[in-house]
Chains A and B, each alone.
Chain A
Amino acid sequence: MAMQRPAASAARAGMKDERVRELGAFHKLMRRPELGAVAGTVLVFVFFAMVAGDSGLFSAKGIINFLEVSAQLGIIAVAAAMLMIAGEFDLSVGSMIGAAGMIMAIPATLYGTPLWLCILLAFAVAIAVGWMNGYLVIRTGLPSFIVTLASLFIFRGLTIGFTRLLTGRTQVSGLRALTENDWLAPLFAGEVGQGLFLWLAEIGLIDTLRTGAPAVSGIPMSIVWWLLVTAIATWTLLKTRFGNWVFACGGDANAARNMGVPVARVKIILFMGTACAATVFAAVQVLDSGSADVTRGLLKEFEAIIAVVIGGTLLTGGYGSAIGAAFGALIFGTVQMGIFYTGVNTDWFKVFLGVMMLVAVVFNNYIRKKVTEAK
């Protein structure tokens, strides 16, 4: 009966009737944070299917290529999304990638430390760095933007400084051989599903090289990590207590604290999460290419933020999704490789990114207004 009542008088009535909800399926869909990213992905695919349909972008090799680019970014974007939902930024991700790469490469090549130990060491350092970032943010009460901007420079500087001090160069190579005999490295640099691809090639579903081997030998581990991280993050956010706390911390840290949510602990854990994601990123790149470079991961923190924002997460926290961030990364990777395949000057990629980000933010703000619209 309240359905026909105008909203204003209903609000004054103050009772149950005021909640006029004539949301159609469309509006319900609009409330999903990842909607924008999914729609954007479809758009991007349609666009490149028309423009670059026969350029090889959508061949098996091309697909694996853009998925790999997306996956690497996706791993850090998903972790960054969780942190951003909790209301914080981590700008030190890019530097952490460079640092983690060197922590793996230098002891292994210079001192003969087993590679698996170096990988574990890198993760240990990442956890320490994440803890420190989080602790500083909590204790100083400064915006995480400032604190992690400082660590961005500190860790990049330390990486360059120590690498030059120890090796005299800014690049360390020669990891390829070490990777092959290591038990832990294939977890980051290997491939899965080789048998499947052999079979696919046999029945002619994917192209073969001149040697008879399939054009794609398997799915790179980075893609597996991407899917795994996204799945775990999504499950955590939607189904666990910790997930509820993440939203609460970003939505209103004070309210969360009043209700007994351990805000400091949640945030510090998430900072550790972004640092660890950066280390996974570094492991994938370094072990796959066999070399580490001090400039690895440059600007990745901003690319991750772009992917997260395109994925529908609010910059101010409290609202967002890990799946959205994964799709944001997919858009990112597809456009990057798509532009490459179509032969357009890749300079335009950055223009696209900026515009895309702007559109996403405007769209997100509109969504937030819709979600919390008071009558």
Chain B
Amino acid sequence: MAANHPAIEARNISKYFGNVIALKDISMTVDSGEVMCLLGDNGAGKSTLIKTLSGVHQPSAGQMLLEGNPVVFNSPADALDRGIATVYQDLAMVPLMSVSRNFFMGREPVKGIGPFSKVDWVTADAVAKEEMAKIGIDVRDPSQAVGTLSGGERQCVAIARAVYFGAKVLILDEPTSALGVKQAAVVLRYVAQARARGLAVIFITHNVHHAYPVGDAFTILKRGTSYGTFRKNEVTRQDVLNMMAGGQEMEELSAEIEELSHADETRVQGDQVSKTTAAAAPERARAARVDDKAKGCPGPQ
């Protein structure tokens, strides 16, 4: 049955908050064993869309289908029960608690009856250790605090937890935005693993360099509407980047920055460094552009 139907499908989803149109007519399908990257600038509606998919919001119009069946989620718990697990940016991890206590938070394995039932921490520790080992993270001591793990590993714990508890659709909300290059690679590798296990993955990011290597398809959101969905073989990394940032806007920005640097130049004219400044102007423009991009991403906390 799942073979014929996409794991999750959104049909003409719209979401209004009062008079604000947050999403308009978004359609998207994700198959099992596929990574769909949801790209878009800040305010493009990425968050609203995933919150709608994960049951936090109900769509104002449109329909959602899970393996071909129309569904309505009343709460995140509802969506979770149906196999849609969302790993939020804030991770749903408690740094002061141990790996296994975090892993089983809210779903602790219990043995015994009635008032004498207790959490089976031995099993919990073993499972947590094993699940982490599967993704290549060797937790020597599952009772160590999550706070001792690096950012990438924490993300992996969160994802491993979702997978372990039977998620069919995995929604990852900017899992790599706060991470360094190597850390992000750990997470991306695990995203690929989750795909190989047959999960449908929706990967939200605004970093094309993270999205492109693992993505099978890219949906680009812009100002609440879908700019289109593209298969990987249809587009290059640069195409995606241009569509996302809006090639034109980017060009305008470059021109603007160029102008600014000229203005700078005139200000420092007469100064003895003016020559070097002029030479460095294109360099600086590039730096400014990078800066601007960096500002878009929340830095590591």
- Find out whether the CB atom of B96 lies under 8 angstroms from the CB atom of A16: no
Closest B residue, CB atoms, query A12: B182
Question: Residues of A contacting B186 with CB < 8 Å?
Answer: 14-15
- Find out whether the CB atom of B92 lies under 8 angstroms from the CB atom of A259: yes
CB-contacts of B245-279 with A (<8 A): none
The reply on B67 being an interface residue by CB < 8 A is no
Closest B residue, CB atoms, query A320: B96
Question: Residues of B contacting A314 with CB < 8 Å?
Answer: 96
> A-side binding surface: helix, strand, loop or mixed?
helix
> B107 is contacted by which of A12, A21, A260 (Cβ under 8 Å)?
A260
Interface string of A83-111 (1 = CB under 8 A from B): 00000000000000000000000000000
> A261 is contacted by which of B90, B106, B137, B147 (Cβ under 8 Å)?
B106
What's the least CB distance linking B215 to chain A, in Å? 21
The reply on B150 being an interface residue by CB < 8 A is yes
- Find out whether the CB atom of A255 lies under 8 angstroms from the CB atom of B90: yes
The reply on B217 being an interface residue by CB < 8 A is no
The reply on A295 being an interface residue by CB < 8 A is no
What's the least CB distance linking A206 to chain B, in Å? 37
Closest A residue, CB atoms, query B135: A16
The reply on A239 being an interface residue by CB < 8 A is yes
The reply on B136 being an interface residue by CB < 8 A is yes
Question: Residues of B contacting A319 with CB < 8 Å?
Answer: 96
Closest B residue, CB atoms, query A239: B118
Q: Count A-B contacts at CB 8 Å.
A: 112
Question: Residues of A contacting B148 with CB < 8 Å?
Answer: 19, 371-375
- Find out whether the CB atom of A375 lies under 8 angstroms from the CB atom of B94: no
Choose, from B30-38, B138-146, B202-210, B282-290, the stretch at the interface. Answer: B138-146
Could you tell me the distance between the alpha carbons of A197 and B110 in the complex, rounded to whole angstroms?
A: 42
Question: Residues of B contacting A241 with CB < 8 Å?
Answer: 108, 110, 119
Question: Residues of B contacting A259 with CB < 8 Å?
Answer: 92, 105-107
The reply on B26 being an interface residue by CB < 8 A is no
- Find out whether the CB atom of B136 lies under 8 angstroms from the CB atom of A260: no
Question: Residues of B contacting A11 with CB < 8 Å?
Answer: 150
Interface size for chain B: under 10, 10 to 19, 20 to 34, or 35 or more residues? 35 or more
The reply on A140 being an interface residue by CB < 8 A is no
The reply on B180 being an interface residue by CB < 8 A is yes
Question: Residues of B contacting A243 with CB < 8 Å?
Answer: 119
Given A239-B119, A244-B119, the answer on whether A255 and B150 have CB atoms closer than 8 Å is: no
Given A245-B106, A251-B96, A251-B97, the answer on whether A373 and B183 have CB atoms closer than 8 Å is: no
The reply on B198 being an interface residue by CB < 8 A is no
Could you tell me the distance between the alpha carbons of A372 and B150 in the complex, rounded to whole angstroms?
A: 11
Question: Residues of A contacting B91 with CB < 8 Å?
Answer: 255
- Find out whether the CB atom of A372 lies under 8 angstroms from the CB atom of B88: no
> B140 is contacted by which of A12, A19, A248 (Cβ under 8 Å)?
A19
The reply on A254 being an interface residue by CB < 8 A is yes
The reply on A247 being an interface residue by CB < 8 A is yes
Question: Residues of A contacting B182 with CB < 8 Å?
Answer: 12-14
Interface string of A227-270 (1 = CB under 8 A from B): 00000000100011101110110011011101111000000000
- Find out whether the CB atom of A14 lies under 8 angstroms from the CB atom of B94: no
> B106 is contacted by which of A235, A240, A256 (Cβ under 8 Å)?
A256
The reply on A191 being an interface residue by CB < 8 A is no
Could you tell me the distance between the alpha carbons of A15 and B90 in the complex, rounded to whole angstroms?
A: 21
Question: Residues of A contacting B80 with CB < 8 Å?
Answer: 260
Given A12-B182, A372-B145, the answer on whether A240 and B96 have CB atoms closer than 8 Å is: no
Question: Residues of A contacting B175 with CB < 8 Å?
Answer: none
CB-contacts of A1-57 with B (<8 A): 11-16, 18-19, 21
Q: What residues make up the interface of B, taking CB atoms closer than 8 Å to A?
A: 76-77, 80, 88, 90-97, 101, 104-108, 110, 117-119, 121, 136-141, 144-145, 147-150, 152-153, 180, 182-183, 185-186
Q: Can you pick out 19 interface pairs between chain A and chain B where the beta carbons lie within 8 Å of each other? A: A14-B185, A15-B136, A16-B138, A21-B141, A240-B119, A241-B108, A245-B105, A247-B101, A248-B94, A251-B96, A255-B105, A256-B94, A258-B76, A259-B92, A261-B106, A319-B96, A371-B145, A372-B96, A372-B147
**Other contacts beyond A256-B94, A260-B107: 15, CB < 8 A:** A14-B180, A14-B183, A21-B141, A241-B119, A247-B97, A248-B97, A255-B92, A258-B76, A258-B88, A259-B106, A260-B77, A260-B80, A368-B96, A371-B145, A372-B96
